[in-house]
Structure 1
Amino acid sequence: MDYLPIFADLKGRPVLVVGGGDVAARKIELLCRAAALVQVVSSELCTKLQVLHQTQQIEWLATEFDPTHLDAVFLVIAATNDHLLNRRIYSEANIRYKLVNIVDDRPKCSFIFPSIVDRSPFVVALSSSGTAPVLARMFREKLEALLPTCLGQMASVAGGFRDIVKQRFNRISDRRRFWERVFYSLFTNQKSVGNIDEAIHTLQCELQADLNSEGEVILVGAGPGDSGLLTLRGLQMMQLADVVLYDYLVSDEVLNLARRDADRICVGKRAGVHSVPQEETNCLLVELARKGKRVVRLKGGDPFIFGRGGEELQAAQEAGIPFQVVPGVTAATGATAYAGIPLTHRDHAQSVLFITGHCRTDGDGIDWPSLARVRQTLAIYMGTVKAAEISEGLIRYGRDAETPVAVIGRGTQQDQHVLTGTLAQLEMLVAVAPTPALLVIGEVVNLHEQLAWFQSSNRRRNFSLPLSAWLEEKS
């Protein structure tokens, strides 16, 4: 770590700024927001600084720098174009053990200015240790969009209740759970719309509630694999989990975003290996929630699209367990986007069907005539086992055997495979594709070669090849 991140209290402390231009003005603006006593040394002041001087918000100490100016200040900033002067300031400050920042000259900085997200008293500071300030600013902009403007007010109200909460809950773990519950309750929404009295009332009600009451079930869609496709809400819920129940479709990089001390239980289902029956998963959700646990049920893709999420929430509802749902990016949209295959296109497909290759044995038969219609895209989940049956059925009911198809294995992940061919070759394609895999059938597959973007510069890892090329490479 090149720099120790600290937050300095500058209220009423003298800070010296050498320089009177626009760069100096930007630094002085931050110092004034921190209530520092700003002293400026410069031959002249820019318009902004003249206004601050006239309104007595800064002191114009001198027109030329003198080392004695450093004796009674807390820290010093040099924002001049005079390299010799900057070097002198740096040297004199070090002799006096003063923190010094020479703007845009990292080797001559004993402290640096981070990129700041200000929701006072809640403040976030980002730094690249001076190596890539533009990158730090980019991430600051992302945080600006993510953090609600009422965050500072929430922190202020919470600060006023800290002692009361300590008296109410002796254990640190109980206090943590209390604040987590508050910040994800109506309190946050009420603060965001300015209902301060109602927010305080909600906080007071939460203080009287029993922390050992029943927990809850949170159904979270983990997306198709790439952790960057996990929603912000999903990440927040994973960070609050006491227990995470996950299945095999959840990638390791997504699972590793869960709270570190949360229990993790695999309840996945996979052909050919031990699988947890759905009824057992339903019972486990209810059992854990009744113990007061916040249970995150993490499911690949979107939990309401071929994920049995509805069945699991029905079990929670029947048991009287509170629940909520966080949708996710489903495999059909995520994997095809990373493969450069638009599901609809004016020239190729005016509709798309999401279907599963696994149906209940006691359910209705497959409507092959509807599936075999032209100018529509089929996105088939869990279809690898029945690929031969799917291919044969579609061809028998009118779909051209030369219809383009793609098998996207481990979509959106670093080892994504995209194999393309024809409907007649579907069984051969799935035989060499890694799982989990999504089947895509329709003319839009022809756009893959033109629109593929993910890892396109590294074909050896992307494995984005037609079947004939793949078999030739393997031979």
Structure 2
Amino acid sequence: MQYLPIFTKLDNKPVLVVGGGEVALRKCRAFLKARAAVTLVAPWFCDELVELGNNNEVTLITAYFNEQHLDGMMLVIAATDLEDVNAQVFELANARNIFVNVVDDQPKCSFIFPSIVDREPITIAISSAGTAPVLARRLREKLETLIPQHIGPLASLVGSFRDKVKQRFTSFADRRQFWETVFDSSVVSKVQTGDTSAAAEQLEQLLDAKPEPEGEVYVIGAGPGDPELLTLKALQLMQQADVVVYDYLVSDEIMELVRRDADLICVGKRLGDHSVAQQDTNQMLVDLAKQGKKVC
């Protein structure tokens, strides 16, 4: 992994964009969506940036870039069409350990912009680490068609219930099970039709019900080890499982698709060599299910 994907809160944080043209405008708009405090420095600015400046949405400094413009900045973008200026911005910002991005010049980037699917508060970022931006954009376009618009309002609704759920369910496992129940319920369809008040009412009812978790065991065949041969149902179960019991015959590529916080139990089976007896494995599955866990 060349770049660690992180999400940074930029509310009122100072960021600098060096440049005044269309590219600078695009980067500026991205920062404004994150509610950053944007300053731009350039000898001239396009009409759209001038308008943003007149509306006090950004700060415009009509000047050539110099090192003092970096003072107090958290992030810096170099978006000029002059290589020497962009290189100067990179070198000076990098020397100060300020995250810097030189547009369309990956070697001079300590961070990069992903392609984004925005369903606020849900945000999905896709990156090719700068190697194939057109491919990343096409992946984003595909995801845009797959992810419904109501996902954002649904996330906002359940977010408003987080404190109540924490008070009702003391353990992380119980809370996760509750949310699995919610997302399998008609709460989702009610939000989809715009009836968020009915969805909120049903959420309250589910909280009051507080059902006991039911354990489940699913047996998933990993086949020859190619993750693309997994069924959608198998992938869903792997993402929902509390515990995954596996052996050495399962490929690393398959295991990468398991839910990140699931407990992993290796029973050590290799071709012709079962280090854990099948009977013991079966009993383990039963015991885990009796604890109310989803096992695969």
| Aligned mates of 1:253, 1:96 — CA distance in 2 | 40
Distance of 2:228 and 2:29 partners within structure 1 = 35
Letter in 2 for 1:170: T
- Alpha-carbon deviation of 1:60? 1.5
1:208 deviates by 2.1
Indicate the residue corresponding to 1:378 in structure 2. Answer: none
Match of residue 126 from structure 2: 126
Cα separation, 2, equivalents of 1:239 and 1:48: 45
Deviation at 1:189, TM superposition (A): 1.4
Q: What is residue 168 of structure 1 aligned with on the other side?
A: 168
TM-score if structure 2 supplies the norm length?
Answer: 0.76
1-side partners of 2:46 and 2:222: how far apart?
A: 52
Q: Does structure 1 conserve the Cα–Cα contact (< 8 Å) formed by 2:78 and 2:101? A: yes
Work out whether 1:36 is the aligned partner of 2:36: yes
Q: State the shift of 1:32 in Å.
A: 0.6
Deviations 1:367-388 (A, max 9, x none): xxxxxxxxxxxxxxxxxxxxxx
Distance 1:17 1:205, change over 3 A: same
The 8 Å contact of residues 227 and 253 in structure 1, kept in 2 or not, is answered as no
Q: Point out the structure with max Rg over C-alpha.
A: 1
Aligned partners of 1:24 and 1:10: how far apart in 2? 18
Is 1:62–2:43 an aligned residue pair? Answer: no
Give the superposed CA RMSD: 3.6
Q: TM-score, normalised by structure 1?
A: 0.50
- Partner of 2:4, secondary structure, is coil
Partner of 2:83: 83
> Could you list the runs of 5+ residues in structure 2 that have no partner in the other structure?
267-287
Write out per-residue CA displacement over residues 203-253 of structure 1, whole angstroms, 9 at most, x where no aligned residue: 1111122432556799999999975465656633442246899xxxxx979
Cα gap change, 1:61 to 1:141, in 2 (>3 Å): same
Measured against aligned partners, the alpha-carbon deviations of 1:359-412 in whole angstroms (never above 9, x if no partner) come to xxxxxxxxxxxxxxxxxxxxxxxxxxxxxxxxxxxxxxxxxxxxxxxxxxxxxx
What residue ranges of structure 1 are gaps of 5+ in the alignment? Answer: 246-250, 265-287, 297-475
User: Match for residue 137 of structure 1?
Assistant: 137
* Paired residue type of 1:5: P
For this pair of structures, how many residues does the alignment match?
273
Task: Report the counterpart of residue 25 of structure 2 in structure 1.
Answer: 25
Match of 1:184 in 2: 184
- Are the structure 2 counterparts of residues 79 and 145 from structure 1 closer, same or farther at C-alpha, using a change threshold of 3 Å? same
**Aligned partner of 1:74: which letter?**
M
Q: How big is each residue's C-alpha offset from its partner over 1:29-71, in whole Å with a ceiling of 9 and x where there is no partner? A: 1001011111111232234323323333222112321221111
Task: Name the structure, 1 or 2, with higher relative contact order (CA <8 Å, separation 6+).
Answer: 2
Give how far 1:175 is off: 0.9
Q: Is the 8 A contact 1:10 1:34 kept in 2?
A: yes
Identical-residue share of aligned pairs (%): 50
> 2:177 touches 2:213 (CA, 8 Å); kept in 1?
no
Task: Output one character per residue of 1:161-214: Cα deviation in whole Å (capped at 9) or x when no partner.
Answer: 222111111111111111111122111111122111111112111112243255
Kept after mapping to 2: 8 A contact 1:128/1:136: yes
Q: Give the counterpart letter for 1:131 in structure 2.
A: T
Distance 1:46 1:238, change over 3 A: same
Distance 1:146 1:213, change over 3 A: same
Which residue number corresponds to residue 3 of structure 1?
3
Measured at CA, do residues 238 and 82 of structure 1 come closer, stay the same or move farther in structure 2, by a change above 3 Å? Answer: same
The residue aligned with 1:201 is 201
